[in-house]
Chains A and B, each alone.
Chain A
Amino acid sequence: MYYTAQHLACARGDRTVISGVGFQLRSGQALILRGPNGSGKTTLLRCLAGLTPAVAGSISFSPDEVAYAAHADGLKAQMSVAETLQFWAKVFGARDVTPAIEGFALEPLLNRRVHTLSAGQKRRLSLSRLVLTGRKLWALDEPTVSLDMQAVAQFAGAVTTHLTQGGAAIIATHIDLGLPEAEQLDITPFRATAQTDTDPFLDEALL
């Protein structure tokens, strides 16, 4: 199974941030997105996840195959860890939350409310949701922010498990995760220079 994107241009709001990006990824492989801050990594991932339609180009897979993990954790302070996992399991139709708990060592935290967790613990809970989605392609935006060394290794282990089970992953990160046979893609050269024409009346109406 291959995941391909060709000549992709993606916009944030009404500004085209990157254009001409293409990649091919097969099952069991990870693609590491590199590029300085503001180079369009988040925009590309949001585009792949179907949150923003592509301005140009083609994507061979549907957004329904993509599990997206953003900068923001998407957690509710008032809910407990177990409640959070069960909620997302129901949303994604997963029957069992144990793989998520085991993969990210959440067992001791299950009954804690999210507002009592540290930033790294929240991050682990947020990432464990990926396992619950049951989707093949993970699109991860800076997944290791606020994780300690041990948790990073844990996370790399979870990604490796996902890859060996036939999944794939696209990861925007600045650190080395130590994933086997991961491809690198530097998106700096694809930065869009010229402003694409958009309808000026529509822009004003949406401001």
Chain B
Amino acid sequence: MNASAIATIVPCWSCKGPVAARALFCSTCGAVQGPGSIDHFTRLGIQPTFDIDLEGLEKQYFGFQRRLHPDRFAAKSGKEKALSQAQATSLNEAYETLKDPLRRAAYLLNQLGHPVDLTACGTINDRELLMEQMEKREALADSTTAEQVAKLAMQAESEVIACQCHISAAINASNLEEAGHLTIRLKYLAKLAEEARAKKSRITRLP
């Protein structure tokens, strides 16, 4: 990270004087600045780790939105309105990415130089995972009573949590290869858990 000192000082669009490239507001004239391209963790002012405190994340998100949301700029000039919209959009993207364990894991691994392709379907390496998931899916499809579905939903939920713990351990041990596989596994587990939850509420809703 050879951040150049020269590049970190940029002219403020409003007063044209020097301002830190990552500043939210110009220290001289107070004008809101653009969101720039910083990573989601830095944007929300938290440490880049998988083990984040969700309450703390939300607190930071609310704190930044309080200052930067377009509602704070409704009576300002068009340029300031546009910049605040860009800032709020970046904050939303960062928050939405980091609050979801699956997206957070994928994002963090990408930042650490080990990208995971979540859109790709299972590769040969994941054959075992695919078989396992197919079996569980069938079990869910075959279950008919509320008790059966509730049991599967709970099982899926606890597997999701266990997988998250394993991802955390793998990342903390710098075992990114392993963390990548686990992240793909988490994607399937989360999907199954969601389907189980949906089926559970469908069944319990019936009169």
Are A and B part of the same complex? no
Give B contacts to A, CB under 8 Å. none
